[in-house]
C-alpha cells in the first residue's frame, strides 16, 4: 500500500531508533522485551504502533520518553527535544483546578505568572475547555479530563508527542470526537506523534503510517502507509478496509506466537 500523505510543513521534531533492545532482569530470569527495533518517524508524521498485549509497545514509548534506559541500541530525538507523554489515565492532580493542572509544567519551566496565565488560557481554548478552568477533575467527564491532560502535555511546548492508548478507556462517541481534536491540534501545531493503540480502526483513522510489532520480543514485522485523505471517518469503508488488513496480520502473528 503506497501513500501520498503530505507531512505538515515547518514540523521540527523527529524520532530515530537504531537497533533498540530492552531486557528486563538478568541471567536465566532475563526477559527480552524489544529486540533490535529500528524506526524513523519523520518531523510532523503521525505513526501508530499496534501489536498484541505484551509485545513491547508501551516499553518502546517509555524508552523514547526517557523513563527507562535501553539495553542496547540508540534513540535520537534531536538536540534539546524532550517529548511529551500522555497516558490512558489523565493522571491529573485531583486537588488542583483545571487551570492549575495545566499550569504545572509551565511553573516547572520557570515562566513568570502573567505569562503562565496567558498560556494556560490559550491551551484551554485549544482543547475547547476555556469555560472549565475553575473546575476540578472530579467535575469533568472522562473525555474532558483527557482534554486537560492533552493541554498539560502541550504546555511542555515540545514538537514530539508520545501517546500510550490515551483514548482507550473512553466510549466510542467521545473517542471519535477526541480523534478529531487530536488531528486538528497535530496539524495546526505540526507535531510529530508516536501513538500506541490496541484499536486497529483507531490506528487507521489517525495514522500516516501503521507499524505492527511482533509478539514478545517486540520486533517490527510490518508497516503500511495510510493513503486516505483527511479528514477521515472511523466508520468509512476505506478505514474499514485498512483496519481489516491490519487485523488479519495481527491475527496471524498472534496465532504464530501461540503455536
Q: Residue 74 forms beta bridges with which residues?
A: 18
Residue spans per domain, the chain: 11-83+161-259, 89-157
Q: In this prediction, what percent of the chain has a pLDDT beyond 90?
A: 83
Alpha helices (H) in 66-220, listed in sequence order? 98-108, 113-126, 142-154, 172-189, 200-206
End-to-end alpha carbon distance in the chain: 29
Q: What pLDDT sits at residue 253?
A: 84
**149: Cβ contacts below 8 Å, ≥ 6 apart:** 86, 87, 90, 91, 92, 166
Residue 7 corresponds to which cell in the numbers above? 507531512
Write down the CATH number for the domain with range 11-83+161-259. Answer: 3.40.50.300
**249: Cβ contacts below 8 Å, ≥ 6 apart:** 212, 222
- 4 vs 82: CA distance, rounded Å: 29
Q: What is the pLDDT of residues 123-179, one digit of tens each?
A: 999 999 999 999 999 999 999 999 999 999 999 999 999 999 999 989 999 999 999
> Residue 76 above 90 pLDDT?
yes
Q: What pLDDT sits at residue 2?
A: 32
pLDDT band at residue 216 using 50, 70 and 90 as cut-offs: confident
Q: What is the pLDDT of residues 79-112, one digit of tens each?
A: 889 999 999 899 999 999 999 999 999 999 999 9
Q: What pLDDT sits at residue 111?
A: 94
Q: What pLDDT sits at residue 196?
A: 97
- 218 vs 232: CA distance, rounded Å: 30
**228: Cβ contacts below 8 Å, ≥ 6 apart:** 204, 236, 238, 239, 242
> Residue 187 above 70 pLDDT?
yes
- 95 vs 11: CA distance, rounded Å: 36
Q: What pLDDT sits at residue 7?
A: 46
User: For residues 102 and 152, is the Cβ–Cβ distance under 8 A?
Assistant: yes
> Residue 259 above 80 pLDDT?
no
Mean pLDDT over the full length of the chain = 92
Q: What is the pLDDT of residues 24-63, one digit of tens each?
A: 998 888 999 999 999 999 999 999 999 988 889 999 999 9
Amino acid at each position: 500500500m503506497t501513500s501520498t500523505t503530505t507531512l505538515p510543513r515547518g514540523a521540527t521534531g523527529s524520532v530515530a531508533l537504531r537497533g533498540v533492545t530492552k531486557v528486563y532482569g538478568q541471567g536465566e530470569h532475563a526477559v527480552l522485551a524489544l529486540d533490535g527495533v529500528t524506526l524513523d518517524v519523520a518531523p510532523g508524521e503521525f505513526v501508530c504502533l499496534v501489536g498484541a498485549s505484551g509485545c513491547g509497545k508501551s516499553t518502546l514509548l517509555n524508552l523514547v520518553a526517557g523513563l527507562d534506559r535501553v539495553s542496547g541500541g540508540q534513540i535520537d530525538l534531536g538536540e534539546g527535544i524532550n517529548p511529551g507523554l500522555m497516558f490512558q489515565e489523565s493522571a491529573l492532580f485531583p486537588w488542583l483546578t483545571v487551570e492549575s493542572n495545566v499550569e504545572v509544567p509551565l511553573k516547572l519551566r520557570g515562566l513568570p505568572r502573567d505569562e503562565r496565565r496567558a498560556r494556560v488560557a490559550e491551551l484551554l481554548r485549544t482543547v475547547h475547555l476555556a469555560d472549565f478552568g475553575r473546575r476540578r477533575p472530579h467535575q469533568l467527564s472522562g473525555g474532558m479530563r483527557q482534554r486537560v491532560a492533552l493541554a498539560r502535555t502541550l504546555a511542555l511546548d515540545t514538537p514530539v508527542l508520545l501517546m500510550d492508548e490515551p483514548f482507550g478507556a473512553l466510549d466510542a462517541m467521545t473517542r471519535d470526537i477526541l480523534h478529531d481534536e487530536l488531528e486538528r491540534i497535530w496539524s495546526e501545531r505540526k507535531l510529530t506523534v508516536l501513538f500506541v493503540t490496541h484499536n486497529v480502526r483507531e490506528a487507521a483513522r489517525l495514522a500516516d503510517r501503521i507499524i505492527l510489532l511482533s509478539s514478545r520480543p517486540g520486533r517490527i514485522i510490518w508497516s503500511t502507509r495510510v493513503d486516505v485523505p483527511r479528514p477521515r471517518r472511523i466508520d468509512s469503508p476505506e478505514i474499514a478496509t485498512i483496519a481489516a488488513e491490519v487485523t488479519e496480520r495481527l491475527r496471524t502473528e498472534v496465532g504464530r506466537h501461540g503455536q
